[in-house]
């Protein structure tokens, strides 16, 4: 009987952990997408915003979503992880967008670094993802 109760509590704890992980992942995805849409930057003296870009691939999106505490009050805590968003811009332009998530006073703040990519680098980054390659270039991958 004691074993059954232990296994029941272990199963409930595991289920709660999975549900919490999924909730935090959805929350982080929504935060990243909302901040990306509001993003504004310039490329080749042209003002662009995140809404102008089409995200063709999200690679390695592993950003820690748990709340972290800082030793010093009011100092930001960087949430660790990697996220690389490959984007198609207007015309023949491609970009790599990399978010950094900071926790400051219980609120999550996202900053973005956006770098232009050449067609060659974009093709190399997407060479094994045929769907993303079609979205980025509008043609089937030739590999």
Domain segments of the chain: what residues?
2-137
Note the pTM of the prediction, 2 decimals: 0.74
Question: ∠81-82-83 over CA atoms, to 5°?
Answer: 130
Rounded Cα distance between 20 and 106, Å, is: 17
Average pLDDT, the chain: 82
pLDDT band (50, 70, 90) for residue 5: confident
Least confident interval from 4-18, 57-71, 80-94, 111-125 = 57-71
Q: What is the pLDDT of residues 75-95, one digit of tens each?
A: 555 565 678 999 999 988 999
């Amino acid at each position: 009987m004691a074993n059954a109760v232990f296994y029941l509590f272990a199963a409930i704890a595991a289920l709660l952990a999975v549900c919490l992980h999924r909730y935090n992942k959805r929350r982080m995805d929504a935060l990243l997408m909302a901040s990306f849409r509001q993003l504004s930057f310039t490329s080749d003296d042209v003002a662009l915003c995140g809404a102008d870009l089409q995200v063709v691939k999200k690679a390695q999106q592993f950003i820690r979503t748990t709340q972290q505490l800082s030793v010093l009050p009011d100092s930001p805590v960087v949430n660790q992880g990697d996220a690389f968003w490959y984007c198609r811009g207007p015309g023949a332009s491609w970009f790599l967008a990399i978010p950094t998530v900071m926790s400051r006073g219980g609120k999550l703040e996202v900053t973005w670094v956006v770098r232009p990519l050449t067609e060659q680098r974009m093709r190399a980054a997407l060479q094994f993802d045929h769907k993303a390659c079609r979205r980025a270039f509008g043609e089937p991958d030739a590999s």
